[in-house]
C-alpha cells in the first residue's frame, strides 16, 4: 500500500531533523562545546527513519555508538539529547554518559551503546519482554556491518529464532567498521544471507531510500506483531563523516567513493520526490527547515545555559556489581 502524503512528509521531516541536529553537533564539537566522542549518522538517516516510522511508542529499540538518528526517529527530546552531548546536568544521563549512552525508556529507546554488538542481546531481552506482555509489541535492534562478526550477533540471531521473538534485526551496512572494509572482515559476500542460517527471512534494501526501508520494515514489523518471529534487514548506506568527529582525520576510505554516495543523499532524494509529486512546495520545504533549525537552536541554548553536574554527584546513579 503506498504511503499517504502526510506519512511521506513525516519521513522527510524526521530525516531533516536528524541531518540538521548532527550538522549542529559537528559545529559545536569543533567549537569545543561537546564532551567526549561523537559518531555522526549523517548520510544514513533513511534507515532509522524508515524503520521507526513503523513502530509504536510502546515498541522498543536498541541502538549502537552512532545513535542520534535512532533516538530522534523514536521520538527522543532533542533538548535533552543536546544537553547530554554537552555533558550537562539536564541531559538524558545527567551529563555523565554523553552521546553513546543516550536512552529514553519513555519513548522505547533503550539506549545507544559503545560496545560493538552489545545491543543485540539487550534487544532479545526487549523482545522477550514484549512477548511476555502479550500485547503484540515488537523490538528492533540497529547495528553496523562491524557487529555481524561479534559472537553476540550469532547468539542473538539463534535465540530470537528458536524463541520466535518479535524482533527486527537491522544491519546498517555502511561497508566499513572504522577503516576496515566489510569485504575484508566478513566471510560472506552479502550480509543478509546470514539470516538463512538462523531460519529467518532476510532482505537487502537501499538504505538511502526511506520509502524502500519503510516498506521492507513494515512487512517485518507486521510479521513480528502477528507472532511470526524475527527477521533480518540489511540496509546499505554510507557515512559521510569520519568514524567519529576529530580534528585529526584518520579516514582512509577513497574520496571518490564518498563523493559518489553523496550524490545519493537520502534527504535530497526525498526532497526531490516530494517536490516532483507536488506534495510540498519549495516554500513549504523552506518553512520546515527553518522550524527545525529553530528547535535545534533552542536545544543548543538549553544545553549551553544548563550547569555541569557537580563534582560531588560523580558517584550518584553509578551502578556496579
Ligand X SMILES: Cc1ncc(C[n+]2csc(CCOP(=O)(O)OP(=O)(O)O)c2C)c(N)n1
- Name the residues that contact ligand X, by CB under 6 A: 65-66, 114-117, 144-147, 174, 176-178, 243
Q: Which residue is nearest to Mg ion (CB)?
A: 144
Chosen from ligand X, Mg ion, none, partner binding at 270 (C-beta under 5 to 8 Å by type): none
DSSP string, 294-315: HHHHHHHHHHHHSPPPPGGGTT
> What residue spans of the chain are helical by DSSP H?
5-30, 45-52, 68-74, 78-85, 119-133, 151-162, 182-185, 210-225, 255-262, 266-276, 282-305
Chosen from Mg ion, ligand X, none, partner binding at 65 (C-beta under 5 to 8 Å by type): ligand X
Chosen from ligand X, Mg ion, none, partner binding at 95 (C-beta under 5 to 8 Å by type): none
Q: Please state the closest distance from residue 62 (CB atom) to ligand X, in A.
A: 14
Chosen from Mg ion, ligand X, none, partner binding at 101 (C-beta under 5 to 8 Å by type): none
- Rank residues 102 and 292 by Cβ distance to ligand X and give the closer one: 102
Query: Which of 58, 77, 59, 67 lies closest to 101, judged by CA?
Result: 67
Q: Contact between 234 and Mg ion (CB under 5 A)?
A: no
Q: Contact between 174 and Mg ion (CB under 5 A)?
A: yes
Chosen from ligand X, Mg ion, none, partner binding at 214 (C-beta under 5 to 8 Å by type): none
Q: Binding mask 31-50 vs Mg ion (x if CB under 5 A, - otherwise)?
A: --------------------
Q: Contact between 237 and Mg ion (CB under 5 A)?
A: no
Work out the number of other CB atoms within 10 angstroms of the CB of residue 250. 10
CA distance 166 to 184: 32
* Residue 152, all three cell numbers: 553476540
Chosen from Mg ion, ligand X, none, partner binding at 178 (C-beta under 5 to 8 Å by type): ligand X
Q: Which residues pair with 296 in a beta bridge?
A: none
Q: Contact between 209 and Mg ion (CB under 5 A)?
A: no
Q: Please state the closest distance from residue 121 (CB atom) to ligand X, in A.
A: 13
Q: Please state the closest distance from residue 175 (CB atom) to ligand X, in A.
A: 8
Q: Please state the closest distance from residue 143 (CB atom) to ligand X, in A.
A: 6
- Rank residues 17 and 182 by Cβ distance to ligand X and give the closer one: 182
Q: Please state the closest distance from residue 66 (CB atom) to ligand X, in A.
A: 4
Q: Which residues pair with 176 in a beta bridge?
A: 181
Give the interface size with Mg ion as a residue count (CB under 5 A). Answer: 5
CA separation, residue 27 to residues 14, 70, 249, 262 (Å): 20, 20, 16, 20
Q: Please state the closest distance from residue 144 (CB atom) to Mg ion, in A.
A: 4
Q: Which residue is nearest to ligand X (CB)?
A: 144
Q: Please state the closest distance from residue 281 (CB atom) to ligand X, in A.
A: 35
Chosen from ligand X, Mg ion, none, partner binding at 50 (C-beta under 5 to 8 Å by type): none
CA distance 311 to 295: 30
Task: Please say whether the beta carbons of 100 and 65 come within 8 A.
Answer: yes
Q: Please state the closest distance from residue 177 (CB atom) to ligand X, in A.
A: 3
Q: Contact between 145 and Mg ion (CB under 5 A)?
A: yes
* Residue 10, all three cell numbers: 513525516
- Rank residues 35 and 64 by Cβ distance to Mg ion and give the closer one: 64
CA distance 53 to 161: 24
Q: What backbone phi and psi angles, to 5 degrees, belong to 100? A: -85, 10
| CB-based burial, 203-230: b 16+ in 10 Å, e otherwise | ebbbbbbbbebbbbbbebbebbbeeebb
CA distance 283 to 277: 15
Residues at the site binding Mg ion, with contacts judged by CB under 5 A = 144-146, 174, 177
Amino acid at each position: 500500500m503506498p504511503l499517504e502524503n502526510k506519512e511521506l512528509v513525516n519521513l522527510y521531516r524526521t530525516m531533516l531533523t536528524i541531518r540538521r541536529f548532527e550538522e549542529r553537533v559537528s559545529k559545536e564539537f569543533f567549537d569545543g562545546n561537546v564532551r567526549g566522542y561523537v559518531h555522526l549518522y549523517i548520510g544514513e538517516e533513511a534507515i532509522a527513519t524508515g524503520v521507526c516510522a513503523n513502530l509504536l511508542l510502546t515498541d522498543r529499540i536498541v541502538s549502537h555508538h552512532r545513535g542520534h538518528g535512532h533516538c530522534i526517529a523514536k521520538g527522543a527530546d532533542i533538548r535533552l539529547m543536546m544537553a547530554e552531548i554537552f555533558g550537562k546536568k539536564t541531559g538524558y544521563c545527567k551529563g555523565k554518559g554523553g552521546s553513546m549512552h543516550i536512552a529514553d525508556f519513555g519513548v522505547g529507546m533503550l539506549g545507544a551503546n559503545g560496545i560493538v554488538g552489545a545491543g543485540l542481546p539487550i534487544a532479545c531481552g526487549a523482545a522477550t519482554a514484549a512477548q511476555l506482555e502479550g500485547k503484540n509489541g515488537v523490538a528492533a535492534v540497529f547495528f553496523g556491518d562491524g557487529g555481524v562478526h561479534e559472537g553476540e550477533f550469532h547468539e542473538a540471531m539463534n535465540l530470537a529464532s528458536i524463541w520466535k521473538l518479535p524482533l527486527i534485526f537491522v544491519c546498517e551496512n555502511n561497508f566499513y567498521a572504522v577503516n576496515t572494509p566489510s569485504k575484508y572482515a566478513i566471510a560472506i559476500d552479502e550480509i543478509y544471507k546470514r539470516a538463512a542460517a538462523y531460519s529467518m527471512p532476510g532482505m537487502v534494501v537501499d538504505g538511502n531510500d526511506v520509502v524502500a526501508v519503510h516498506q521492507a520494515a513494515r512487512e517485518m514489523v507486521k510479521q513480528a506483531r502477528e507472532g511470526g518471529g524475527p527477521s533480518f534487514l540489511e540496509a546499505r548506506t554510507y557515512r559521510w563523516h569520519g568514524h567519529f568527529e576529530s580534528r585529526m582525520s584518520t579516514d582512509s576510505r577513497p574520496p571518490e567513493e564518498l563523493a559518489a554516495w553523496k550524490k545519493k543523499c537520502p534527504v535530497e532524494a526525498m526532497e526531490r520526490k516530494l517536490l516532483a509529486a507536488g506534495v510540498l512546495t519549495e516554500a513549504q520545504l523552506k518553512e520546515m527547515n527553518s522550524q527545525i533549525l529553530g528547535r535545534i537552536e533552542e536545544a543548543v541554548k538549553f544545553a549551553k545555559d544548563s550547569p555541569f553536574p557537580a563534582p560531588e554527584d560523580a558517584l550518584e546513579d553509578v551502578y556496579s556489581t
